[in-house]
Amino acid sequence: MKFNHICIIGLGYIGLPTACMLANKVVKVTGVDSNPDVIKSLIDGQVHIHEPGLQEVAEKALHTGGLHVSDRPVEADAFIIAVPTPFYDDKKADLSYVRSAAEAIVPVLCKGNLVVLESTSPPLTTQNIVLPILERSGLKAGEDFQLAYSPERVLPGQILRELVENARVIGGIDEASAQAGKELYRIFVKGEIILTDATTAEMVKLMENTCRDVNIAIANEFSRLADRFGVDVWEAIQIANRHPRVKILNPGPGVGGHCISVDPWFLVEAAPDLTPLIRTAREVNDAQPEFVVTLLERVLHGVKGKKITALGLAFKQDVDDLRESPAVEVVHNLVKAGAVITTYEPFKTGFQIEGVTAAKSLEEALAEADCLLLLVGHTQFRSLLPSTIAKTTKARIAVDTVNGWKKDEWQAAGFDFYRLGDRKSKPE
């Protein structure tokens, strides 16, 4: 197939970088988003996402005219749906954005088009939800237009590189659809492109993130066991990982982001009778923020009225993405427990949490603290010198939930130092 014009619905963490990649390959791209602030910022030449290198590639795509932005789809050769798929409070998938995107394509869908769903979705979403909506156009999937599923598999902070270099999975509703998807992504993808059917591709994406979630859950349980038994879990993991067939991941305050903390629930929803292990892993990781609060309750002899500075709110280090962040959940739980919380998130300083003071600078965040709580291992926080920090805060208690600080250095600077999963040096 020949792709002269591609329409991408959803200009978020995946849609916008994908649009820029295609536009900078001399392909006309129309990027669509329902948020008027996103449209306005892009028209003004500013991206609304913190991702290394994205501002530069977006400027190029917009300046050359390869990328146009709109609030609705237009006729094109191919359509890529890259909208969010969050879940409801009962952990069921919210596919309303996917449905709305497919419905928006219907009026402009033409014979010979290709439609690709990228949004992470429960198995059979492409076949049972997207396909029937698109066929309201009067066109038949597999005959008049092609339909495929191709999940993103990239790491925030490295999206631009991984979009190009990572292997790509494309699942078609038929062989012709999968092949059309391969021709589309080959425009910019240098990694291997693997073809399969749509439901297998949906399953692959969920399996990848569910495997990670289960592995993190066992690490988080190990951190709780180490805390009970007077062990340093970080030392224990390092030793255990010397076994040639063992690779234990790092524990932390929980699991966040729009993938690992969400995707396993799609499998639980689709087959609750077959997924007790997946459900349990999710419950373990969802409970980890409360374990952090329990640690603070112990080391501070209660958190009510204590002034705690929480460093980092993003779901992982060196990104601005706060979706499903366990750090945010820790803060919520501390507020409920009566703590006085100041937060500092260097990648999103204006982010507000009810009942919490959001500091605009590190200096402001540290000034009145009784306790410093490291929730995200941003490079900026990992490189802090405790001897310098001691001069800028009255706090003399430091709690590290991500193993980002060196215990001996903080203790040498006069801090009582506590680390998640490390009861070895501070057993009280």
Every domain of the chain and the residues it spans = 5-198, 218-419
DSSP string, 155-207: -TTSHHHHHHHS-EEEEESSHHHHHHHHHHHTTT--S-EEEEEHHHHHHHHHH
- 182, 205, 407, 424: which is the annotated catalytic residue? 205
**pLDDT band at 426, cuts 50/70/90?**
low
pLDDT in tens, 297-311: 999 999 999 999 999
DSSP lists the bridge partners of residue 149 as 117, 171
Instruction: Report the percentage of the chain scoring pLDDT > 90.
Output: 91
**What value does the mean pLDDT take over residues 67-80?**
97
pLDDT in tens, 176-200: 999 999 999 999 999 999 999 999 9
The answer to whether residue 428 scores a pLDDT higher than 80 is no
> For residues 95 and 101, is the Cβ–Cβ distance under 8 A?
no
Burial class (CB in 10 A: 0-12, 13-18, 19+), 190: exposed
Nearest-10 crossing angle of helices 263-270, 198-229: 110
**What value does the mean pLDDT take over residues 110-133?**
97
- 259, 306, 371, 407: which is the annotated catalytic residue? 259
State the Cα–Cα distance between residues 171 and 118, nearest whole angstrom: 11
State the Cα–Cα distance between residues 400 and 417, nearest whole angstrom: 8
State the Cα–Cα distance between residues 263 and 170, nearest whole angstrom: 18
Q: In terms of residues, how long is the chain?
A: 428
Question: Helices marked H in 272-343 — which ranges?
Answer: 276-299, 326-336
State the Cα–Cα distance between residues 315 and 290, nearest whole angstrom: 16
Among this protein's residues, is 110 annotated catalytic? no
The answer to whether residue 332 scores a pLDDT higher than 90 is yes
The answer to whether residue 69 scores a pLDDT higher than 60 is yes
The answer to whether residue 9 scores a pLDDT higher than 70 is yes
Among this protein's residues, is 205 annotated catalytic? yes
Cα–Cα nearest to 381, from 358, 414, 356, 406: 406
State the Cα–Cα distance between residues 98 and 268, nearest whole angstrom: 20
> For residues 236 and 226, is the Cβ–Cβ distance under 8 A?
yes
**Confidence at residue 155, expressed as pLDDT on a 0 to 100 scale:** 83
Domains 5-198 and 218-419 share a fold: yes
DSSP lists the bridge partners of residue 81 as 9, 117
Report the CATH number of the 218-419 domain: 3.40.50.720
Report the CATH number of the 5-198 domain: 3.40.50.720
Write out 62-125 in H/E/C secondary structure.
HHCCCEEEECCCCCCCEEEECCCCCECCCCCECCHHHHHHHHHHHHHCCCCCEEEECCCCCCCH
The predicted model scores a pTM of 0.89
State the Cα–Cα distance between residues 116 and 344, nearest whole angstrom: 39
